[in-house]
Structure 1
Amino acid sequence: MSTQLLLGGRIYSPTAPDASAIAITDGIVTWTGEDRTGRALHPGAEEIDLAGSFVAPAFVDTHVHTTAYGLALGALDLSACRSRGECVREIRRYALKSSDPLIWGHGWDDTAWDEAGVLSTSDLDEAAPGRPIYLARVDSHSAASSTVLRAASSELNALAGFHPEHALTGDAHHAVRRAALNLLTPAARAAARTSALDYAASQGICAVHECGGPDISGRDDFQELLAIDHGVEVRGYWGESVSSADHARTLAQETGAHALGGDLFVDGSIGSRTAWLSAPYNDGPGTGLSFLDVDAIATHVAACTEAGIQAGFHAIGDAAVSAVVQGFSRVAAAIGGPALAALGHRVEHVEMVSGEQAAKLASWGVIASMQPMFDELWGGEEGMYARRLGVDRARTLNPLAQLASSGVSLAFSSDAPVTGLDPWRMLRAAVNHRTEGSAISPRAAFSAATRGAWRAGGVRDGLAGTLTPGAPASYAIWDATDLVVRAPKDSVARWSTDPRAGVPALPSLEPGSPSPTCLRTVHRGRTIHGA
């Protein structure tokens, strides 16, 4: 056996909140406590001086699109553009320096522009004549595309969501995205995946849940990712519905997926006006798109449950969430809540959910995989949500505290490339929610990005995501400022700020506070980033 003894640090451990040392033997945490005791208990161990660094469980991101994020890291980034004209200038500049067979871009957000406008097909053709161009909106549920790329998608104009000039949505967007992905070489996909996973490790992330599907990245990319040799662990979610238990088993075997869910679309996004609503949008016509009805949802859940496979759905709008709740309800009535809860099924995003629905989801053991950064970027009374939905509906979005208090297990993620991989910023967003009463405590937020995230991935041993003896040695070492204990501003549970409560401290998550710098990331005892 080989033992490492990390000394002189600040260890985040609920069982030993004042610990300064941690012992790790063959990839397993075996002890936490004080330096002098550690040396006495582990003579001959390899000693590592932490020099005051903060050691905490490594993060798990429960919803990512790895290849797309890697492409975004090195491709055309339009997130800083504040007008249609600025986007066009950036496209032209990028096209002049790029010889790639496809111009791939991401991040434009028309709701953040200083003036109204539409990024059109003609704009792209003018900026880069004759070039195939795919530019995903920030939410990845619509995209502007050039004439050349559109021509590569047969019968595109017959698909729902088609417009000759404006960004494509729905089926039309899925078709043009497939055409764009087909122009990427295996080498380009491999480089993008490696870049994304390397960056994840540099941010203290030891595992990600890839949310793939036929309309997202395709089987080739999904299977190539699951086969990659990288220190960051990848759990694969395949977003395709099934009709029977045999169908579920076959699909999981064929794709290599660990679960059949993730971005199994019930609807789209609020920003692209494709989230499925019960009442029309405030700033445009219609109530969004519906991809699965209650019958299909219930059939998928029942089939996966019988097959012993975790299921899940992408649901954002209130009508979509209602359909998911009704689907789970049918299955629970048929087989019982405990049998349903045994699989830990998931709902991704679940942004518009009522208290009654939250209580039902909790009773069936359904896990909410959520993105706190969505509220930071688009919440508030003047944000995108308020413009799309009106202020009253916008205030109800992403109710983290309501879900947690109802007993729903939370797991946090980035939905990269929709938001970047920045776990500490994500936690600040959860702790400083724009809607009063929706924030959760730093401790709860950190748990949702570590222990809760492992649970969302089917690991229910009570140890993963902690630094307690017996847990896998998956941790990150951080250069952090003073550690603090804080209760949420709108909470009455102030007891936890008392040092006598033994609550472990975390880096400050106050608005504007700096994120700690990751010095090293270790997964199951193996260093995957840093010295």
Structure 2
Amino acid sequence: MAVSNGTIVWIGADKAGRSLHPDANIVDLEGAFVAPGFVDSHVHTSALGRKLTGLDLTGAASLADCMSRLTRFAAEHPGELILGHGWEETRWPEGRPPNVADLEAAAPGRQVYLTRIDVHSAVCSSSLLDAVGGIASRDGLVRADDHHRVRTATQSAATPEQRDRARRAALDEAAANGIVAVHECAGPQISGRDDLRELRGLEHGVAIRTYWGEAVDNAEQATQLLADTGADGLAGDLFVDGALGSRTAWLHEPYLDDPSAGTGNKYLDVDAIAAHLQACTQLRVQAGFHVIGDAAVSAVIEALERVVDAVGGPAVATCGHRLEHVEMITPKQAAKLGAWGVIVSVQPVFDELWGGADGMYATRLGAQRAAAMNPFSTMASAGVSLAISSDAPVTALRPWSAVRAAVQHRTPGAGISPRAAFAAATRGAWRAGGVRDGVAGTLVPGAPATYAVWEVDDLVVASPDNAVARWSTDPRAGVPPLPRLDPGSPDPTCVRTVRNGVTIHA
């Protein structure tokens, strides 16, 4: 592969390449695997950075283990507000989340904020609740508006230097995993305008596309909001509902494991969703929503239908509106999204973590509803453009793991082919960010020299329906080999990441 001024100018056999470019600087990769760089289409940069630089509770095997980690961290970081992330009570033998008494015993007198793995709820110490004020929680658990208030308070307590260190840690982590661009899903209930402004001003090798999740009623409001925030689109985590783990996703039927949760939370109704879509479509600005539960999906579909009826399908499709997550969708609904050119950003590792007959989805919803979760094949076959992402810090920046999870779905028949999964994490993710030049996410002459170099144990040329069989090796198909994607296969190791010809990780 020959690169000039950040662009691929030639690809072919080694001997011919050296003769055609005799004065080139030769970099011998010694048999490493070169592939287009990944794009993560849904991240929360500052939150990921706080996880990487703070108390990481992912993988805590029990409530006792979680509190032991808190005690050690508190001893190592005296006097600081303690920020932690990643506890997940559904995997613990105790079967319950931490409470304020647990936190007081583990870190007496300290201000502690520990977010659940889905970041839609948290547990807080009494001193932190007192400092924020007006929080009704008696057990330290906060959800919805109370959680937004506490999160805002903890973010405001960080110094500019701490915030900068966290963001750089997150973007360095992305580059170290072959990720060349991320889509920041910001909003007033997530990170705030100051955080977005600081992130947009950060110079780093990883490209950042920013979305702001705040609803508008008309085009004038949308224009002003875009000017005020500098966001690239009014999409991302504009919450129609919450998350299944925190029992705040909006459902048609109640949660099975906690009747008090009812059918979850509705944050936007059909009228509000339609108004936002109409305003953004009028401006040809990308709109979108966070939508997980089946009732939330139904509301978005109804709102899209209204806008399509008002302005026409082509006008809607031109904008490339996007939806985040979409974990509960029917084939009929998927067909409508495909016809309207709506892009869906999915997180396959969610299924790996919580799918299956004995997973969290089955506990919350029952086996029948859980089996229909995250139907990637249904959406892909309906023509929906998919983009694969992590929702970091909810799951780690491990793009090969996400591609594998999309192929090895916990529900037979719901996964997609290795070729489709890899495309969704590269070309599809560029498309989700509005890049439709036909070459982004590929390695062909004329494309940006944006790629990653990997050490792999084995390469296979994968068929559309089998991760380890072979598909056509006809060069006209342009199908490269892929690392093994069968269950248990190791992730490749990233040894170099390059964006537009510039090395951003080595």
- 1:362 counterpart letter in structure 2: G
Q: Bigger CA drift: 304-313 or 35-44?
A: 35-44
TM-score (norm 2): 0.97
Number of residue equivalences? 501
**2:35, 2:452 within 8 Å by CA — same for their partners in 1?**
yes
Report Cα offsets for 1:285-308 as digits up to 9, x if no partner: 211001000000000001111122
Offset of 1:77 from its aligned partner? 1.6
Matches within 5 A, 1:510-525: 510-525=486-501
Matches within 5 A, 1:228-377: 228-285=202-259, 286-377=262-353
The residue that corresponds to 2:64 in the other structure is 85
Offset of 1:488 from its aligned partner? 5.4
TM-score (norm 1): 0.92
The residue that corresponds to 1:481 in the other structure is 457
Supply the distance in 1 between the matched residues of 2:218 and 2:465 (Cα, whole angstroms): 47
**1:63, 1:211 within 8 Å by CA — same for their partners in 2?**
yes
The residue that corresponds to 1:18 in the other structure is none
- 1:106 counterpart letter in structure 2: H
**1:484, 1:505 within 8 Å by CA — same for their partners in 2?**
yes
The residue that corresponds to 2:38 in the other structure is 59
- 2:363 counterpart letter in structure 1: R
Match of 1:126 among 93, 105, 130: 105
SS at match of 2:440: coil
**1:431, 1:440 within 8 Å by CA — same for their partners in 2?**
yes
Match of 1:443 among 419, 422, 428: 419
**1:349, 1:369 within 8 Å by CA — same for their partners in 2?**
yes
**2:420, 2:464 within 8 Å by CA — same for their partners in 1?**
no
The residue that corresponds to 1:470 in the other structure is 446
Supply the distance in 2 between the matched residues of 1:81 and 1:216 (Cα, whole angstroms): 25
Unaligned runs of 5+ in 2: none
Supply the distance in 1 between the matched residues of 2:411 and 2:207 (Cα, whole angstroms): 34
The residue that corresponds to 1:140 in the other structure is 119
RMSD, matched Cα? 1.4
Supply the distance in 2 between the matched residues of 1:443 and 1:116 (Cα, whole angstroms): 39
Unaligned runs of 5+ in 1: 1-21, 158-162
Supply the distance in 2 between the matched residues of 1:391 and 1:100 (Cα, whole angstroms): 46
SS at match of 2:494: strand
Match of 2:80 among 93, 101, 124: 101
Report Cα offsets for 1:100-159 as digits up to 9, x if no partner: 5310000000000012223111211222222111100000000001112112323222xx
Matches within 5 A, 1:403-442: 403-442=379-418
Q: Bigger CA drift: 25-34 or 331-340?
A: 25-34
The residue that corresponds to 1:156 in the other structure is 135
Offset of 1:73 from its aligned partner? 1.0
Matches within 5 A, 1:37-76: 37-76=16-55
Offset of 1:246 from its aligned partner? 1.2
Offset of 1:485 from its aligned partner? 2.0
**1:118, 1:166 within 8 Å by CA — same for their partners in 2?**
no
**1:69, 1:417 within 8 Å by CA — same for their partners in 2?**
yes
SS at match of 2:142: coil
**Residue 205, structure 1, aligned to residue 184, structure 2:** no
Q: Bigger CA drift: 143-152 or 377-386?
A: 143-152
List, as ranges, runs of 4+ consecutive aligned residues in structure 1 with deviation greater than 6 Å: none
**1:28, 1:473 within 8 Å by CA — same for their partners in 2?**
yes
The residue that corresponds to 2:93 in the other structure is 114
Match of 2:191 among 194, 211, 217: 217
**2:214, 2:234 within 8 Å by CA — same for their partners in 1?**
yes
